[in-house]
Every structure is written in structure tokens, then in C-alpha cells.
A and B are shown apart, each in its own frame.
Chain A
Amino acid sequence: MATSAMFILDLKGKTIISRNYRGDIDMTAIDKFITLLMEKEEEGSAAPVLTYQDTNFVFIKHTNIYLVSACRSNVNVTMILSFLYKCVEVFSEYFKDVEEESIRDNFVVIYELLDEMMDFGFPQTTESRILQEYITQEGQKLVSAPRPPMAVTNAVSWRSEGIKYRKNEVFLDVIESVNMLASANGTVLQSEIVGSVKMRVYLTGMPELRLGLNDKVLFEGSGRGKSKSVELEDVKFHQCVRLSRFDTDRTISFIPPDGAFELMSYRLTTVVKPLIWIETSIERHSHSRVSFIIKAKSQFKRRSTANNVEIIIPVPSDADSPKFKTSIGSVKYTPEQSAFVWTIKSFPGGKEYLLTAHLSLPSVMSEESEGRPPIKVKFEIPYFTTSGIQVRYLKIIEKSGYQALPWVRYITQNGEYEMRMK
């Protein structure tokens, strides 16, 4: 049921680091990994799970390395994949960029971490902040050698005791990403909001926190059905949140980890008007040129403003000599991604802007047919949530009785925001 061995490979499939946890697989099987992957990619059936004889490889790719788990029983694949992602997360807390070179540079500590994070193929402690307390890169004398922090085995495995701050502060960021997919004829096919509440916690001791949101289920339950509230379709919590408590009375109560973490994420599929809408009209004169008229409309309230708006319009890859005309922002042709990017630093609500573009096409048609990538839009709207979610309170209780200040920020940004082109 568990991982037999872990490997970190470079792009050519050469092993940088390997850790054999169970001794029940042939460790040379990994040499076949990259060939196998190539074959599958050729067939168009590459999936994150591969089989070679009686060894199964479950893997992820990160920058220029592969993290591979080899196993031979009916393992919990989801657990392995989550664990591999967790490894990347922990490594990056230890040495920032996780890539081939940094793996080699830090192999000693990686071995130590692999030893501590997994035993006999069972994931163990993976909280990087706790690991950092007793797995450090400096060699220690045994006398002063670190002991396993209480947190490793505590019910509160994510926070150590005895944390002290002079100023007790909590920062809450409510970030909503809007995923939208529109068809070429302008119908919204799919739209959802994926929200996340991120925290940065600088609090002394073992504080108890309670977060109040304008959750519809809670409001209806407590007879405040008429107040403005939000129906969260699916909520996911950091492991510090007491799930059974939430399940019974929708209270979000927890002892937070120290520092930055994502407290919760939520999803809603309420249909909202697309915040930024793009209309295009394209005239194609094959063998000679193509011209675009792009209209960008902001469909949110006037008092809000979208910042750093980027509208990415794909063009044929063999287009050249671009000419642009617009009243606002700047336009840049980026042949490496076969597109031009219209950047508008500040885009107030209820406005409409225009861009015209002309590009030349070669007289010879290219042999290969091209895909039709969609238009993408990037934006950020501060002080605004599409869903209308609000933090009503954040109660902080610690036995020493200090006062702590919570700061809340709201921001809406693009997620996968795509509009198909004709």
C-alpha cells in the first residue's frame, strides 16, 4: 500500500537522488522510466502513472526535474501525488528554487528530509516549519542535538509551542479567481469563482482563532436569512481547521500555523457577468494579411478599477510586421507565444476601449494546421470580491490575553479566463 522508493531525476531520466524505502523493487527499473514516458507521449497516452513490468511509477514534473515514486502494490495514488507535491513545497522552503542544480547542491539535507518525511513508504511529518526546527543544515553536537519538537506528534502538528512576537498581528487576504470560458459566439459556457483565504499569522503562544464569514448556510440557520450572504458550494480547509466543528455548526475555528498559509478555499458557480469582456472582429485575407478590431469592456461597478490588465490575442504563428492603434495602454507583439499583448495599467469600471491591429501573412501557407488558442485576459481588481464574501470577524483568544489586530484585504483576479476565437 505504500511507496517502495523515491527518485529525483533530471530531464534525461538520470537519477540525481534515490531513496529505497522498502527494498522490494528492482532499483534499476528507474532507468527505463524516461524511455517509457517518451513512448507514451509518442502514443499520445502519457499519464502520470506508468508501468514497467511489475513496477508502477507515479510521478510529477517540476521545473527541470521529475519526482518519481516507484511502487509495486495497489498504492493510494492520490496520496502519493499529494506527497510528491508536498515534497516540492518543503524543498522550496528549504532552498527556494527546486531544480536540478539546487537538488544536487542540497543532497545531504534532502536525504535527511526524505528520511523524516516518509518511513517505509508511509508519509510522516511534512510541515516544513516544524521540520526546520530539527532538521537543519548545520551539523550538531549530540549534546545539544535537537529533540523532535512536540508538534511532530501532537494533535496540533503544525505549530510549535513557545512562539513569541512583540506585536501580535494577523493579515487576511481574500483572493477570488474568476474562471470563465466563453464560446466564439459570445455565450458564457462556464464560469466559476475559486476563492481562497490566505493568512499571515504573527501571534504569540497557542492562539485560538475563529473566523466569521457571511456564509449563507450559517445565516439561514441563525435566522438572518435576509442579510447579504454567500452560498459557498464547496469549501476546503487547511488541516488546522476543526472539520467536525464546521460540519455541525459552520464555525471556522482553528489554531493557526505560524507565518503564511492558505486557511481555506471555496468554490461557487453562481453565474456572474464577465468582469472584462472582449469582442473581436477579425478579417482574414489569406496569403496577405489579417486585421483585428478588439473591443474591451469592463462590466463591474464604476467605483472599482482593474489594475494591470493584459489582454492576450493569439495570431497565426507566421504573421509578421504588426501595426497597432489604440487610445489607451500599450501593445506588444510577442512572436514567441504567437500573440500580441494589450496592456492597460488601470481600467476603471463601466468603460470601453478599442484596439485595431494589422499583421501581414506570408503568401505561402504553412503545411501544419495550427490550434486555435483562446483569448486570455489577466487582471486584478482590489477591494472587491465577485461573490460578495465578507469577513465579519476574526476572534483571537490566547490565554495570556493580548490584543491582536486583524487586517483584511480583498482582491479579485483572473483565473483561467478564456474566450474562444472564431
Chain B
Amino acid sequence: MTDSKYFTTTKKGEIFELKTELNSDKKEKKKEAVKKVIASMTVGKDVSALFPDVVNCMQTDNVELKKLVYLYLMNYAKSQPDLAIMAVNTFVKDCEDPNPLIRALAVRTMGCIRVEKITEYLCDPLRKCMKDEDPYVRKTAAVCVAKLHDMNPTLVKEQGFVELLNDLLSDANPMVVANAVAALTEMNEQQTVIEVNSQMVNKLLTALNECTEWGQVFILDALAGYTPRDERETQNICERISPRLAHANAAVVLSTVKVLMKLIDLMPADSDFITQLTKKLAPPMVTLLSAEPEIQYVALRNINLIVQKRPDILKQEMKVFFVKYNDPIYVKMEKLDIMIRLAQQNNISQVLSELKEYATEVDVDFVRKSVRAIGRCAIKVETSSERCVQTLLELIQTKVNYVVQEAVVVIKDIFRKYPNRYESIISALCENLDTLDEPEARASMIWIIGEYAERIDNADELLESFVEGFHDENTQVQLQLLTAVVKLFLKRPGVAQALVQRVLSLATQDSDNPDLRDRGFIYWRLLSADPAAAKNVVLTEKPLISEETDLLEPSLLEQLVCHIGTLASVYHKPPSAFIDPAKAPLRQINTIPAAKFGSSLLDTSSASNASRNGSSAPTVIPSQDQVIADLLSLDLNAPATSANTGGYGGGMSGTTSMGGLDDLLGLGGDPMPTTAPMAQSNNPFDSLAGLGMPSSAPIPQQPASIGGLAEIFGSGGFGGSTGMTYPKEMWLDASRAMGMQVEGTFVRRNGRIFMEMTITNKAMQAISGFALQFNKNSFGLIPVEQINPSPILPNQSQNYTIACDTTGAVQVTTPLTNLQVAIKNDINAFYFATTVPLIAYFREDGQMEKREFLEEWKSIPEQNEQQFTLQNTHNMNADAICTKLQQNNIHTVARRQVDNQQLLYHSVKYTNNLNVLSELKVNSQTTTITLSLKSKNQMAIANMNEVFQTLLN
């Protein structure tokens, strides 16, 4: 007899029938009925109506039946919370059962019933089970603490479960230790409940040798979050975990690799120990490539990270990444990526012959990537470029459409890298002109023609044939065509006079694409103003393109290496990018990569920043914006967002994606993908202003957003006033507001809120007649002055300080600090949204009396309290913290010393007289501070923790 028969009852009145059977006296019939219920539940039918009847079956002496009833309970308890209480008694009784299996079952199930009322009853049995004589019960209870914490973290703390869990870390049984550490790691992810310290690490390392494979993973993942105190401890941990590299379970191996990668970073780079250790890393990773394809895929994604971080480890292992015929496509693609990363002079011939083999396969995506890879090899290994070009030519001869197109695209990059070396193949390329139907390939071909216009006799004819269908082309092709024709004209004015006029008029008059029009205008004016200057600009020497492409941005790489084996390492995204922050508000705090000994986090990051830019400058475009800025001394005030990423532009965009301006100069490449640089460069006035008046002083670079510079420089550097001043943000970009650029911020001075604002005129003519208005907002903020309406001349800027009041209409927004602003000038009205720093709303007279504070603290119910963990990165002491907070109108009410903890109490009063009370627990031993916030109005707490964190930074 099989279980499938239970799925087949679908006749009418089924629920009724089941009800009768469930209440039958015969045990066998009862059990059958419960199985049918579970079967229905499995296929998604709603059998919640049977809740009381099923729960009645719970008191049985049959284990199998009991498990089924429990299963049912876990599924439906949430929808029937009141009835679920019925089950509590049985659970509590089962927790006392002589059989450990039943005790564990009860405590395990109870923890899975996510009903608030049940959690109250759970505490006592759970406490007992954590001290149970049987390890099976204890290991189940350990996990149950994590379950309870997930539902009610405060309860876990109040009831002392954290301490009990801590005790289980010293349990004699390895499985109990493993589960306890798993529960702990998970709870710590939400907020730190127990700091991992070196005694704990020692216990874990001992348990590591004895627990199951999964337990080993839990322990290793917990160790990954620990930063040893000194080099000796680091070395000791390495020695004790490295035998795990020989474990058959891939998860154990990768988690070991993760911990080792982190620890290696903490030790002096050129010691023998490190050399030995890194030698041990390669073989296990290679072996992972014989695992199941899914695991291979995860391994390959991780190897991709490791190869970027420490290229030496796998440099000898090229061959194992050769693609096998039956590899799933996702494995093939990843292998190809790694092959390119590992390609270098001594293995390039093998790699090339493999790539050529792959380029004749059938899978289109794989073939394309292989062709692209050949181009990348040419750029990366100079000595191989000749052969790569030859191979690409052979591939073009195959006439397979997509191969040809892909080859043309990469050949363009090769031309960029090695100018004037391979023009001989141009004629072969031109033969395939007609087959190119993809925009990228067409654009590349056109770039080649423009670049070598003086050597291609019929360049004018070729370009003319493209111009015929100008309006049917993709924007990318149109832009490239425009540039190519201008180049042709500059090189051979005689043949292209008519053509260039035609193209310019097509671009400027007949096109409704702003990018195209703008570029057309620039060329037009440039050519008519000063052809010699035009030549200098358009035919200027091009910066080198980067050898490596698709490199991860270093700080991201750093972060991802700490997450080896996890989803983040597969996505190559930080966890915060795909995890709902609502569920895990403080997660990012735990993911900050570890700093080296003796240097703070900030030091290392800025130092590596500097060295990166410095060392890479000669060979690689350091950053698109920067190069252009240097070349033309243009002012490129990036919008706040792009300023942060700009520094890595060179590495990221590499051969394929070029910024807009870059492309303007005829550098070739794809202008589309990066939107941020576009925003700056497609503003013609901006560029023209710079071009026309090269001597005009560039406007100073604006500080980036709060998230960027403020964190790096610390808060003290700005403003100089007592309180914290946030740097100005880009509020309105010139391209959005017809040439008017607005940056600004809000500050509080002498009990008033001021809007500090800079308006820059990037348009051609003067703007004037300004007016300002705020939309209704949470604090009723309104401007009480107006902007001086007198005109601002082109390329000039003006600073304004507008006093504000909080007497306007109130409408609560989320977040509270949101503010919508309208600015009018003589041309139009523009709107934007920004946030007002919360501290601008803190009143100077918000100091509370101790007694008053105490009463209010007590009067606010417990559930209104919110806890956060803050990072005290500068290790400020309590005095420094109080001073800092006091400067920003967070008033110190009282201080208390308990053991080695300082408790600080503060009060804040908003402009609308709402109070927020805070308690800070500062522990001199650690860098984390626990912040508890209370307010009569829950809304008032929102974002307050961020304010504290910002002030601490």
C-alpha cells in the first residue's frame, strides 16, 4: 500500500466525511483520516476547518500520528490562533515525556507555531529543555531559541535565554555546540546578542573536529565573523581549520576557504606561513569542479572572486577550466570568464586554441562570449594580439552572422589598444559591411572607418551609404556615424564637405533625440568657430583602454570575499542589494570587511583608494570623468550619485562602455550603458561653456552626498558651526532644469532652520525671477524669506541662505524628513524632493529634568521601545559622545556607570514639542553601542538611530 491513495479523495462532502473519521473511535481509522488531511493540505486545499478535530487527535500514543498532527498544527496555527491554545497543554506535557524524542518533538514544534500567545507558554518548557539530560533535546532547544528570537527578541533577552544559549556553547556534546552557534550567528545578524570572543572561538575550534558536516559549516561561518586579536591567534585559527579543506562536503570546503581568505588578509603578506597556506587553497577548489554541476557553478562564481582578489592562487590551473562538451551552459559561461582572467603570456596559446574551438560551437551565447574573449586576450596579452587578430579573421571567414558581428566589435577594441598596427585587415572587414545588422557591430564598424578614414580610399562612399538610412539607425549608430563623418571631414576636408553638412543637419534639425542634437550642435559650432581646435579635440590622442574588464569594484570585492559560499558570492552583489532591509535593519553593520591590524577601517579604505588610483593611472583610464576633465578642463559637476562611483569608472567600463563625452571625442565604444556620465555630458551648454572659455576658472567640485564624503572625512570638517552640518547635495541637475543647477542643504543655527543653497546657471542666457515654495510636510517647514530674484549670469553661481520656520501646514510624510520643493525662475518652475536632516528639527531647549525623564520613560509602554546597535568606529568615550550629541541638541539628562558599561540618557525635543528619550550603553571593551529609543509617538523614533550613528562617525 502506498501513500498516494490519500490524494485521491476528491468527492463532495469530503470535509464532513473527514470530520467523522477524525472523531472515530478506531485508532487506525483516525490515523488514515489525518493522513488524508495532510495529503489535502499538501496539494493546497484548505482544510483549516478541521482544526479542532485534528488537534483532538494530538493526544495519542502513536508517534507517527503525533508528528502528522504537529505538522498540521504548524501550518494552520497562525490562521487559528485561539484554537492553537488548545494544543498548549499537550505540548507542555510532552516536554516532560520520558522519551527524549517526544520532548524534542514538542519543543521543536512549539517553536514553529508562530502565535504570540503560544510563545508565552513556550518559555518554561524551553528553559527546561535547554538543561535536559539528553543532548538530542538540548540541540533541538538551542535552535528553538533562534525561533523565539525571530518572533520576540525582547522576550529572549528578558527570559535569560541568551545566557542559557551561551552555556550551551560549552556543552560537552558537539552537535549541541554546533546548533547553539548556528542559533547565535543568526540572532547576531539581527543585532548583536553575544559578542564572539576568543574563548568562544577556542570552544568552537574544539567542537569543529567532532561535529557533523553541517555543524562544521555553522562553526566556520561563525568564525568568518570573528576578527582575531593578534597575529598569533590568527595563525592558530588558520592551522586548526585548514585540515577541513580535505572534507568531502563542498560547503565545509568553501566555508573554510572563506575564513582562510579573510585571515590571510590580516597577516603580513610575504610570510612563509601565507605562502604555505595559499598553496593549500588551490587543490580543493580545483576538486570542486568535479562536483555536481550546481555546486560547480557556485564554486566557479566564487573562484571568480578569489582570482580577482588573489590572482596567484590559481594561476597555474588554467586547464581545469577548459569547457567540457556536456557542461551545462551556466557552467560553460563561468569557466570562460575565469579562463580570460587567468590568461597570460605563458598559457595564451592554449587558451586561444580553446577559444577558437568554442567559437565554432552551436550555442549562440556561448559562441559570442568566446569571440569576445579572443578580443580580450588580444588586449590583455600584447604578444598574442597578432594571433588573436588572425583567429578573428578566420572566424569572420566562416560568415556565420553573429560570429562576424561579435568579431567586428572586438576588433574595434583591438584597434583602440594597438593603433595603426592592424589596418591591413580593414579591407576584410569592409567586405562584411552588409551582413552587420546589430547596432553595436554597425557602430563599431563605423568607428573603424572614421578612425582610419585617411587610409580607406572609399571611406566617404562607405559612410555615405550609412548616412542614406540615417533615420532608421539606432541612436548608438547615429552618434557614431556623426562622429565618424566629422573625423573624415577633418582628415579629408575635400571629399566630405557635403557629407558633413548633411549629417550635421540630419542630426540637429531632423532628429528629436536630444543626445544626437546636442552632439551635432557641438561639432557644428566647433567646426565653424575654429577648425584647428576642432581637430585638436576630435582627433586627440586617446587614453589607453583597460586590460581587465568586468573587474569588481575593490571595496565590493572585499565585501564579497567575506561572503564566500553564500548567495552574495553567487550574485556578486552585497547582501543589502537583495535582502529586504525591513527584515534585517542592521545587517550591513556585520558585513563591513575586516580591517588590518593597527589601522582603522577608514584608513585602509582610503589608503587603498589612493594607491589604486595612483598605480593604475599610467596604464588605465582612471575614471572617465577625470580624464575628460583633464583634457578639456571642463567642469563636470557630477550628480551626487555618480561622484561616488566615478572613481572606479575606468575599471568597470573598460573596453566596451565609454562615457558620453569620451565618445564625443571619437574614442569609439558604446555610449549607452552608463547613464550617470551621460547626464553630465549631454548638456551641450556645459560642454560648450568649457570649450569656448578654456581659461575660465572651473567651479569647485561639489561635495558628494552625506553617504560619501561625510563618512570619509568625518563630520567635523564641514561648516565649523557647533552642530553637525550636512554637505550640500545636488537637488536639481542642470539637465533637468534647463540649465539651472541647484545644490543645497539645511542647517540649524541659533534656534532657526536655514536652507543653504547654491544656484548655478549653466544655461546660455541669464536667469532670474526666482521664487521658492515648500509642499506640506511633517514638521510644517516653510520658507520665511524669498530668494533674491536678481539675475545670475551664464556660468556663474550664487549662494543663498533662506530662513525657515515650522509654522506651516503639517502633513505627515514617510520618511518624516521628506520635503518637496518648487523653485521657479523666469523660464519655468521646477520640482524636486529632498530630505531635511533630522537634527535641524531638534530644539535647543529640549533638555529634560531627570525626574521628568524618568517618569516619561516609565510611562511609555515597553513595546514602544526600539533597540539598535551602533558602531563606535572612533572608539569615542562617553564624554566625547555627550559633547558631540549636545552640540546637536541631543541633551544629556543623566549618566550612570554599571560595571564597565556607561549608561547615557538623552532627550530630544522636536520643533513640534514631541520628545524622544534615548539610552546609550557604551562598553569600553567593544566598539558597539546599544541604543534604545522611546517616544510616546512611535513615528518620532523613525530614522533617529541613523542620526546617532552619523554623529558617532
Contact = CB atoms under 8 A, between A and B. Distances in A.
Q: Do A and B come from one complex?
A: yes
B26 to A, nearest CB: 13
B147 interface: yes
Interface string B353-364: 110010011111
Interface stretch (A228-236, A318-326, A349-357): A228-236
A242 interface: yes
Given A78-B254, A82-B250, A243-B244, A418 B324 contact: yes
13 contacts: A20-B74, A20-B75, A44-B364, A107-B39, A112-B67, A119-B140, A139-B65, A146-B101, A157-B175, A181-B324, A237-B248, A239-B212, A247-B246
A171 interface: no
A247 B135 CA distance: 30
A158 B64 CA distance: 24
Contacts of B736: none
A236 B246 contact: yes
B147 A48 contact: no
B114 A23 contact: yes
B175 A153 contact: yes
Contacts of A22: 150
B742 to A, nearest CB: 35
Contact of A78 (B31, B35, B67, B251): B251
Contact of B360 (A60, A157, A267, A372): A372
Interface in B127-164: 134-136, 139-140, 143-144, 146-147, 150
Nearest to B331: A47
Given A76-B217, A101-B4, A157-B175, 8 more contacts: A15-B42, A46-B328, A49-B297, A122-B214, A148-B101, A247-B246, A369-B362, A420-B357
Contact of A24 (B6, B38, B365, B583): B583
A155 B210 contact: yes
A107 B175 CA distance: 28
B324 A247 contact: no
B213 interface: yes
B287 A373 contact: no
A145 B292 contact: no
Contacts of A115: 67, 71, 108
Given A46-B330, A243-B247, A418 B578 contact: no
Given A44-B329, A75-B567, A79-B214, A145 B251 contact: no
Contact of B3 (A47, A104, A155): A104
- Chain B interface SS verdict (over half): helix
Interface in A35-76: 44-49, 51, 54, 56, 58-60, 71-76
Given A79-B251, A101-B4, A247-B242, A126 B297 contact: no
B140 to A, nearest CB: 7
Q: Which 8 A-B pairs have the closest CB atoms?
A: A234-B283, A105-B2, A142-B61, A247-B243, A48-B294, A79-B251, A74-B575, A153-B135
A340 to B, nearest CB: 18
Given A101-B4, A119-B143, A120-B146, A48 B283 contact: no
A122 B143 contact: yes
A365 interface: no
B324 A105 contact: no
Contacts of A416: 324, 326
- Pick the most buried of A85, A143, A148, A181: most chain B CB atoms within 10 A of its CB: A148
Contacts of B9: none
Given A153-B175, A244-B209, A78 B579 contact: no
B99 A147 contact: yes
A374 B325 CA distance: 7
Interface stretch (B178-186, B515-523, B657-665, B815-823): B178-186
Nearest to A111: B71
Interface string B30-49: 01000100110011100000
Contacts of A140: 62-64
A262 B248 contact: yes
A142 B248 contact: no
B249 interface: yes
B64 A142 contact: no
Interface in A159-199: 181, 183, 189-190, 192, 194
- Pick the most buried of B173, B290, B320, B570: most chain A CB atoms within 10 A of its CB: B290
Contacts of B114: 23
A48 B246 CA distance: 25
A56 B567 contact: yes
A119 B322 CA distance: 40
Contacts, number: 291
A155 B350 CA distance: 48
- Pick the most buried of A153, A194, A236: most chain B CB atoms within 10 A of its CB: A153
Interface of B: 2-4, 6-7, 31, 35, 38-39, 42-44, 60-65, 67-68, 71, 74-75, 78, 99-102, 104, 108, 111-112, 114, 134-136, 139-140, 143-144, 146-147, 150, 173-176, 179, 182, 185-186, 189, 209-214, 217-218, 221, 240, 242-244, 246-251, 253-255, 283-284, 286-287, 290, 292-295, 297-299, 319-320, 322, 324-326, 328-330, 333, 350, 353-354, 357, 360-366, 400, 563, 565-571, 575, 578-580, 583-584
B78 A23 contact: yes
A265 interface: yes
Contacts of A111: 38, 67-68, 71
B580 A72 contact: yes
A145 B248 contact: no
A59 to B, nearest CB: 8
A45 B363 CA distance: 12
B779 to A, nearest CB: 32
B42 A17 contact: yes
A120 B147 contact: yes
Contacts of A85: 292, 295
Interface string A83-123: 10100000000000000010011111001100100011011
B178 to A, nearest CB: 9
Contacts of A107: 3-4, 6, 38-39, 42
Contacts of B361: 371-372
- Pick the most buried of B39, B176, B217, B240: most chain A CB atoms within 10 A of its CB: B217
A275 interface: no
A76 B579 contact: no
A134 interface: yes
Nearest to B354: A189
A190 B584 CA distance: 47
- Pick the most buried of A18, A47, A143: most chain B CB atoms within 10 A of its CB: A47
B254 A153 contact: no
Nearest to B207: A155
B176 A108 contact: no
Contacts of B570: 47, 49, 77
Nearest to A155: B210
B397 to A, nearest CB: 16
A383 to B, nearest CB: 25
A119 B176 CA distance: 13
A190 B140 CA distance: 48
B330 A147 contact: no
Contacts of B253: 236
A45 B570 CA distance: 13
Contacts of B286: 233-234, 267
Given A79-B214, A81-B295, A141 B209 contact: no
A393 interface: no
Nearest to A59: B294
Contacts of B319: 189-190
Contact of B99 (A126, A139, A142, A418): A142
A77 B298 contact: yes
B297 A48 contact: yes
A336 interface: no
A194 B179 CA distance: 34
Contacts of A15: 42-44
Interface in A1-19: 1-2, 15-18
A1 B186 contact: yes
A295 interface: no
Contacts of B175: 152-154, 157
